Structure 1
């Protein structure tokens, strides 16, 4: 699965999911949550770190898709790609209120929707050949981690 993914995007992508995994671990391990609150503050543990960071990452991924949209050919495909690229940021902005459970569930849907957009951009050959392997891996980790905060 990791075959062909350049080292830098792989390592940076995996580093980028650390706040999601950390948030899940602090839900599962109360002693870790207590330490995290004391050392980092309550905003940096549990679902709170996941929700804030998840909104940031969905917005970041909108920018990534915008960059891939610049490779689109033709007015119709370009317009569609630019329009689609802003959806993750708008989703994060409008759908992450209402408490940690609903916000977490909406982030899960946002990341799954982002994966569909990644797939579309990949099918249109706007992304590198390894893009979907990386995105499936990272999305799986993110959704699993968010699920801990939503369902436990």
Structure 2
């Protein structure tokens, strides 16, 4: 990852570990632990989605002022966009069953498009996509697996 600050790489990679742990717990631990693992995946996913929105907020408010007439509108647009991930995370927490994990999965899957738009508008640094894309793919797949595991019916199949 040329040009990406090392601390950002390590912190981003380590931020994936709770997703992996919660998903493994959903699939591998006894059924009585499945609800706790589901809550862990849902809670952490919502927090991280909010964090990603916070990054956008920070980039928008740190944008240098310019004489361009649309700077205020552009900053306002990015500030509005930046709160959407937190709202999605909040909704994911309050909806029932595996639907919350599916909502988080879709939201995380959409974030690279937002990151690309932030980069194209020169809001994000040049290395930002190289940092975010691999972990977005990994988290999307992992949350999808968590959602599948959380949605499985734990009751035994009736015999004929």
> When the two structures are superposed, what TM-score results if normalisation uses the length of structure 2?
0.80
What residue is the counterpart of 2:13 in the other structure?
14
Corresponding residue to 1:122 among 115, 119, 133: 119
CA distance in 1, matches of 2:101, 2:145: 10
> When the two structures are superposed, what TM-score results if normalisation uses the length of structure 1?
0.83
| DSSP 3-state at the match of 1:4 | coil
CA distance in 1, matches of 2:111, 2:73: 21
Which is higher, the Rg of structure 1 or of structure 2?
2
How many residues are aligned here?
143
Which consecutive residues of structure 2, in runs of 5 or more, have no partner in the other structure? Answer: 150-160
Q: Which residues in structure 2 correspond to 1:37-48 (within 5 Å)?
A: 43=36, 45=37, 47-48=38-39
- C-alpha contact (below 8 Å) 1:17/1:142 kept by paired residues: yes
Please, which moves more after superposition, 97-106 or 48-57? 97-106
Which consecutive residues of structure 1, in runs of 5 or more, have no partner in the other structure? Answer: none
* 1:141 maps to 2:132: no
Please, which moves more after superposition, 94-103 or 4-13? 94-103
CA distance in 2, matches of 1:104, 1:94: 11
